[in-house]
Amino acid sequence: MSLHPSGVLSRTTRRVPALLRSCHLGPALAVTVFVTALAVAAGRGSAGAVAVAAAVLAGQLSVGWCNDAADARRDTACGRGDKPVANGELPPRAVAVAAGAALTLCVPLSLLSGTAAGTAHLGMVVAGWAYNLWLKHTVCSPLPYAAAFGALPAFVTLGLPTPSWPAWWAMAAGALLGVGAHVVNVLPDIEDDLATGVRGLPQRLGRPACRWLAPFVMLAALGVIVAGAPGRVGSADRVLAAAAVIVVVAGTTVPSRARSRWPFRAAIVVTGMAVAQLLLRGSDLA
């Protein structure tokens, strides 16, 4: 095997597309855009928003690569052709090294927002790693999601010119969105998870229960934002809440097939409503 620098560089370059597919890029970008938009809405300014974006992206990439490295054997056993490690495009070590590098980079990027905010963000990332390496196999599997998403507003507000803890409703809504995201993420793969020994809380509850749980948890998050944010609940808020209830009820009761994707779609729609409301109330976070 050639150890010439050009050979190493060529091999690394060839792995970049596979590494991007292995890092859960879609969710990583979605979380990054959401938290960055929240930072802008809360008043972090352009420099603060860029610092937030860089830290969150590095943290999300590290968690995504950590997930694929930890699940390498299980994904191979399940025949996951969409996973570069499972289909032989990447060795597990390459993904593990990428995860470690992203985590290392995440530390100084997080601290650009200040010690308190940076510590809050690093705690979120540690929660993601704890889920991948341990808690996803236990009944406590929703806790890392609740802790990480619940702390997102804290990363934003603790980095403001006048640092402060976020409002309770923002952290509560974030935690509920995290739990809902966990159930939504697990829902398509419950049978494969059970077959390979992954027995988190959603897997133990089973598909029928999770079909109902996912959209209703997202609905609870929306309710916390509408009811908890400052100001009187207006007619627009009531219309939004009623629309969300209709989406959830229709998505969970109309489908007759156990594997119908309508509960999943209902959860995604209500998640979008809750996220939009959180962003609209960004100036009220602190």
Each residue's pLDDT tens digit, 52-68: 999 999 999 999 999 99
190 falls within a domain:
yes
Does residue 118 share a domain with residue 198?
Answer: no
Does residue 150 share a domain with residue 14?
Answer: yes
Q: What is the CA radius of gyration of the chain?
A: 20
Does residue 150 share a domain with residue 16?
Answer: yes
Domain boundary among 131, 155, 179: 155
Q: How far apart are the first and last CA of the chain?
A: 57
248 falls within a domain:
yes
Does residue 173 share a domain with residue 36?
Answer: no
Question: Is residue 5 pLDDT above 60, yes or no?
Answer: no
pLDDT number for residue 251: 79
What CATH number is given to the structural domain containing 177?
1.20.120.1780
Does residue 143 share a domain with residue 176?
Answer: no
The number of C-alpha atoms within 13 Å of 263 and in the hemisphere containing its C-beta is 27
| pTM, full prediction | 0.88
3 falls within a domain:
no
275: containing domain = 167-286
Each residue's pLDDT tens digit, 104-162: 999 999 999 999 999 999 999 999 999 999 999 999 999 999 999 999 999 999 999 99
The runs of H, that is alpha helices, within 80-162 are: 92-111, 115-133, 142-157
Quote the number of domains for the chain.
2
